[in-house]
Chain A
């Protein structure tokens, strides 16, 4: 993400031609960024932004309402997200944390979930959803480092909800996650996080 990339701002020119680039718009034959992001190789990656739910996203959700035929869940976006009772064998209560997969987002942005599994007792760390890939790391490398160093289980939802459970050092895990969130766009982060976790500072 960092090779020859430059930071661009809303309204900044990213192409002299009408290219269809995500997070950019075309006006009079030229393409402009809509967000603060990193632009390189014809691709624009936002540095911040609200979670935009897509089918097949794995998300961490909090049960917000028990309904007759299922559950309303909070997945960190302003749209109604629903988990039908037919999709699950477990029973949930308000406030339960579950991990699930988005199966459908319809035209009015109602969201349906499936493949739900209750998460063990833990706490929520909420991050900006665009940073989640960095928290997970290539082939889960980053998340594995956090888990092994802190003794916690970390489940990262694409929606920016990170569930930290287990009897490990929650405070240390939370600090590491915050550190990655703040420095997600920088180089050498993996090493810095590893050495931070090793020194196990808790304050």
Chain B
């Protein structure tokens, strides 16, 4: 149920049910396909709710420009970009804006933590994320897909990270906000985890939360991240269980 004009807040959480029928700890449907591009060294495609996001990885490859290279490790680069046709509203402008530059940075920093970059001095590893369709929570979907793409490329990592956001809606903590919950909720907190030891690799937050709400949020996120990790592992396993010589990106219509 959408609010008529912006500012008319709908009821988000009533009788244990959110507007799309989910419970507080329920994720939207997530599908991941690993290895969908031919030229990229690694790739993955994720559908998370109505988000449709493609991740591609190149590297390690020669670091250009030369003066950016490190003698001790690979330089990790990330570009998060939204297609001009990805949103429901107006036609977007091409090229990076402030938001996408910020997201590129935090996503890159999340992966710098886990990529074992010392093995490849003087090189760069590129992570490209393209949002083909957006539906709230793109950065978490981006991290989750990019992790699979990096694993697909054989880039050595300490772990396979994933990310999920928690929100506060109608005073209650819930996991994985959809678009309306994003717009009208009281707090939004995306978190990327290293599942092996629960370390937090990406962390942002806005809104108002008490200490108890924060702890509850983390617990919900941790639990959800275990489910997401399984989906990532299944996607990678499928590459080897069902080997294909040709790779195609297939987008499921709703």
Please list the residues of chain A having a beta carbon within 8 angstroms of any beta carbon in chain B: 7, 9-12, 23, 25, 27, 32, 34-36, 46-50, 52, 78-79, 108-109, 128, 130, 178-179, 181-183, 185-186
Q: Is the CB of A179 within 8 A of B151?
A: no
Q: Is the CB of B123 within 8 A of A48?
A: no
Does B243 sit within 8 A of A, measured CB to CB? yes
Enumerate chain B residues within 8 angstroms of A182, measured Cβ to Cβ: 243-245
A78 to B117 Cα, complex, angstroms = 14
Q: Who on chain A is nearest to B116 by CB?
A: A34
A27 to B156 Cα, complex, angstroms = 15
- The secondary structure that dominates the B interface is loop
Q: Is the CB of B122 within 8 A of A10?
A: no
User: What are 23 of the A-B contact pairs (CB < 8 Å)?
Assistant: A9-B151, A9-B160, A9-B236, A10-B114, A10-B151, A10-B160, A11-B157, A11-B195, A12-B196, A32-B196, A46-B154, A48-B42, A48-B153, A50-B59, A78-B59, A78-B122, A79-B122, A109-B122, A130-B154, A179-B245, A183-B243, A185-B240, A186-B243
A11 to B156 Cα, complex, angstroms = 10
Enumerate chain A residues within 8 angstroms of B128, measured Cβ to Cβ: none
Q: Who on chain A is nearest to B125 by CB?
A: A50
Does B237 sit within 8 A of A, measured CB to CB? yes
A130 to B41 Cα, complex, angstroms = 13
Q: With contacts A11-B196, A185-B240 known, is A78 near B123, CB below 8 A?
A: yes
Q: Is the CB of A108 within 8 A of B71?
A: yes
Enumerate chain A residues within 8 angstroms of B122, measured Cβ to Cβ: 78-79, 108-109
Query: Chain A's nearest CB lies how many Å from the CB of B159?
Result: 3
Q: Is the CB of B233 within 8 A of A178?
A: no
Q: Is the CB of B233 within 8 A of A9?
A: yes
Q: Who on chain A is nearest to B244 by CB?
A: A182
Enumerate chain B residues within 8 angstroms of A25, measured Cβ to Cβ: 116, 158
Assign chain B's interface to a size class: 35 or more
Which chain B residues numbered 114 to 137 have a C-beta less than 8 Å away from chain A?
114, 116, 119-123
Does B194 sit within 8 A of A, measured CB to CB? yes
Q: Is the CB of A11 within 8 A of B160?
A: yes
Query: Chain A's nearest CB lies how many Å from the CB of B7?
Result: 44
Q: With contacts A32-B196, A50-B41, A50-B60 known, is A10 near B243, CB below 8 A?
A: no
Q: Is the CB of A11 within 8 A of B194?
A: yes
Q: Is the CB of B60 within 8 A of A36?
A: no
Enumerate chain B residues within 8 angstroms of A10, measured Cβ to Cβ: 114, 151, 156-160
A47 to B153 Cα, complex, angstroms = 10
A78 to B62 Cα, complex, angstroms = 5
Query: Chain A's nearest CB lies how many Å from the CB of B16?
Result: 34
Interface centre among B62, B121, B243 (most CB of A within 10 A): B243
A35 to B151 Cα, complex, angstroms = 7
Enumerate chain A residues within 8 angstroms of B233, measured Cβ to Cβ: 9
Enumerate chain A residues within 8 angstroms of B194, measured Cβ to Cβ: 11
Q: Who on chain A is nearest to B197 by CB?
A: A27
A36 to B35 Cα, complex, angstroms = 13
Enumerate chain B residues within 8 angstroms of A35, measured Cβ to Cβ: 151, 154, 156-157
A10 to B114 Cα, complex, angstroms = 10
Does B61 sit within 8 A of A, measured CB to CB? yes
Q: Is the CB of B237 within 8 A of A7?
A: yes
Contact with A along B182-210 (1 / 0, CB 8 A): 00000000000011100000000000000
Does B176 sit within 8 A of A, measured CB to CB? no
Does B47 sit within 8 A of A, measured CB to CB? no
Does B152 sit within 8 A of A, measured CB to CB? yes
8 closest A-B pairs by CB: A49-B154, A11-B159, A48-B154, A34-B156, A10-B157, A11-B196, A182-B243, A78-B62
Q: Who on chain A is nearest to B157 by CB?
A: A10
Q: Is the CB of A7 within 8 A of B240?
A: yes
A9 to B116 Cα, complex, angstroms = 14
Q: With contacts A10-B160, A11-B195, A182-B245 known, is A48 near B116, CB below 8 A?
A: no
